[in-house]
Structure 1
Amino acid sequence: MTMEVVCEGHVEEVAVTTSRFSKWRAAIAPLLFLTPALVALIGFRLLPAGWLVQQSLSGPDGEFAGLDNFAFLFASPTFAKTLHATLTFVAVTVPLQTAVAFGLALLFAENSRLVSLLRVMVFLPVFIPSSVAAILWGAAYRPQGLANALLRSVGVSAQPFLTSPDQALISITVMSSWIGCGFWMVFLIGGLKDIPRDLYEAASIDGAGKLSSLWHITIPLMRRPLAFVIVADTVAAFLLFAPIALLTRGGPSGSTQLIMYDVYQQAYFFNDVPLAAAEGLTLMVIMMIVILVQFRLLSRETQL
């Protein structure tokens, strides 16, 4: 009788221990899978962001300077011109790329050999690194380059492109759109393929034409993919760096001096890390606002 009680007690103790171990393993296993992502998040996001804030509040000798860097930054006519050039670039580039990408998506949404070939050709520039694309377009924008050769063939005189304050920024916009339109087109094609074909068939039976179906069916149901493309493209436009660094270096006359390149200059040319950090933090705040707008747009329910 005593042996039976002891055995039963031992079995119950083992069962409790096994249950506790299973619960502990179930709780710790997700943490082990998340550890690499958490380490990357802390090492590559949170710590650099903390360092950026600390540097932006420091003086040239490392002393605490409060908001002096931000006060100097927003009182500077140079930064005002940089901010104006950046906002102008974003305001022109994002609508242009979104409209062209949406038009290409409408043209290439159907599956056929010819459409697939054209879709691949439009998407090919995405595989070219931005630095290589900048060099190629820099050669095309030269006085004797391909762009002016094409203009002369239709009777238009050669254009200065990158050496003109009036044309340099739009020339960079064209170059970046050459890469961006094919990239954003892929997202929009995916959105178009998610629209049920039954809606178009019902609209056709009711006598709706292609323009009416586009306006009342396609655009409302594409609002979320379009919102994603617009916001993501805005972030990409704010972060543009390589073409400016390789082709114009902010010139001529500061017409292409975008914020990212100005941060680079402040840190590595003028060795003013606190001011560069303040400018980078300002850019980061703008990015956070854009991300909040993105979540706001993507969280809304689509309404017809």
Structure 2
Amino acid sequence: MTLHSVRRSAPSRRPAGRRIRNRNLLAAVLFMAPALVALIVLRLLPAAAAMFESLQRSTLLGGTSFVGFDNYVAMFQSSGFLNSLGVTLLFALIVNPVQVASALLLAVLYSRASAGSKFWRTLVVVPIAAPPAVAAVIWSVIYRPDGIGNSLLRLVGIPEQPFLTSSDQALFSLIVLLSWVGVGYWMMFLIAGINDIPQDYYEAAALDGSGFWRTFFSITLPLLRRPLAFVLVADTVSNFLVFAPVQILTRGGPDGSTNLLMYDIFTRAYTTNDINTAQAEVVILVLITVVVVAIQFRLLREDS
């Protein structure tokens, strides 16, 4: 083949390569299109609608008028909303570390090859099969004055507890319920992350004489950072959206001690028919979630 023929054939390859790249780009766009459409229709458009409606107020004649941030000002002047906000932040501050720490501890224990580990792992995972509403009904029986909870307490000499009927215990009772359901679910992700850690690291640590805690903090925890970040963020978002157990068990009581923001939004929207203020609460809840998640990502950055 002469140099002249090579030069003549070179331009013919460029359009072919360009066509291949265009086909690959088109294929990528087609594959991504359903997810993008779902993101726009199910996430972005509802978020924009909530923001727009939160800046309006319904009139007595059934219309709406633009009021700017008046709904937000009135909301932050409401003792009911401030109580709900405080309860939600306290709930998140307790339930997220409890669930993630418990899931991490169980994942480390049950990922080790020991007698009975698969059996106990199965028992922890079983509650995942129960939907939140079903789990709430199950625990409503446990928390009854004559239920299983107080029966077990009497066996160890502890007096009966009011659980859901006490403003001091109701929120913590919900945390126990949600942890019973959630810990096993998040544990599965962390076990998968632990199993992905090369065994060479653990063998080298064993040769160096490292103990359990030294190995955990020097190998397991650093290499588990990405799965742990996912679990922490997903768990946080999930707990900010808790609704069914509150609706079934406490209805925000007693004395507003379990009135989480999601339930308060439901009450304002469908009980008092204050849709605009409810949308303002949705915006505040989303902002809180975004800020908390951003802080978590910052704390769990690989270069931190």
**TM-score, scaled to structure 2:** 0.87
SS of residue in 1 equivalent to 2:138: helix
CA distance in 2: counterparts of 1:60 and 1:261, whole angstroms: 22
Partner of 2:212: 210
Match of 1:123 in 2: 125
Partner of 1:33: 31
Bigger drift between 54-63 and 262-271 goes to 54-63
Aligned letter for 2:229? A
**Which one-letter code corresponds to 2:133 in the other structure?**
S
Distance (Å, rounded) in 2 between the aligned partners of 1:69 and 1:218: 48
CA distance in 1 between counterparts of 2:103 and 2:14 reads 61
From the superposition, tell whether residues 212 and 34 of structure 1 become closer, same or farther in structure 2 (CA, over 3 Å). closer
Distance in 1 of aligned mates of 2:272 and 2:117 = 51
The answer on 1:70 being equivalent to 2:68 is no
Match of 2:159, SS state, is: coil
Query: Quick one: structure 1 residues 30 and 207, their matched pair in 2 at CA, closer, same or farther if it must change by over 3 Å?
Result: closer
Q: Tell me if the contact between 2:229 and 2:297 (Cα under 8 Å) persists in the aligned partners.
A: no
- Greater displacement, 92-101 / 26-35: 26-35
Please say if residues 90 and 238 of structure 1, whose CA atoms lie closer than 8 Å, have aligned partners that are also in contact: yes
1:174 aligns with 2:172: no
- Once the two structures are TM-superposed, the CA of residue 117 in structure 1 deviates from its matched residue by 2.0
Residues 228 and 298 in structure 1, CA contact (< 8 A), matched pair in contact too: no
1:66 & 1:214 partners in 2: Cα distance?
Answer: 52
1:212 partner letter:
R
Tell me, yes or no, if structure 1 residue 88 matches structure 2 residue 90: yes
Q: Residue type of the partner of 2:129?
A: F
The Cα of 1:122 is off from its aligned counterpart by 0.6
> How much has 1:189 moved relative to structure 2?
0.9
* More displaced 10-residue stretch of structure 1: 106-115 or 244-253: 106-115
Structure 1 unaligned residues grouped into runs of 5+: 1-14
Q: Check 1:296–1:72 CA distance in 2 against 1; reply closer, same or farther (3 A cut).
A: same
Provide the secondary structure at the position in 1 that maps to 2:242: coil
Give the aligned partner of residue 4 of structure 1. Answer: none
1:274 to 253, 273, 276: 276
The answer to which of 163-172 and 54-63 deviates more is 54-63
Distance in 1 between the 2:69 and 2:14 partners? Answer: 59
> How far is 1:120 from its partner?
1.4
Deviation by residue 1:127-146 (Cα, 9 ceiling, x = unmatched): 11000000000111000111
Q: Is the 8 A contact 2:99 2:183 kept in 1?
A: yes
C-alpha change, 1:33 and 1:220, in structure 2 (3 Å) is: closer
Greater Rg by CA = 1
- Maintained 8 Å contact 1:224/1:297: no
Q: 1:25 to 1:224 in 2, by over 3 A?
A: closer
Query: Residue type of the partner of 1:47?
Result: L
SS state of the match for residue 217, structure 1?
helix
Q: How does 1:1-304 map onto structure 2 within 5 Å?
A: 25-61=23-59, 62-111=64-113, 114-296=116-298, 300-301=302-303
Cα deviation, 1:192-244, whole Å, max 9, x if unaligned, reads 11222222222222232222222222222223322222222111111111000
Displacement of 1:281 in angstroms is 0.6
Give secondary structure in 2 for the equivalent of 1:63: strand
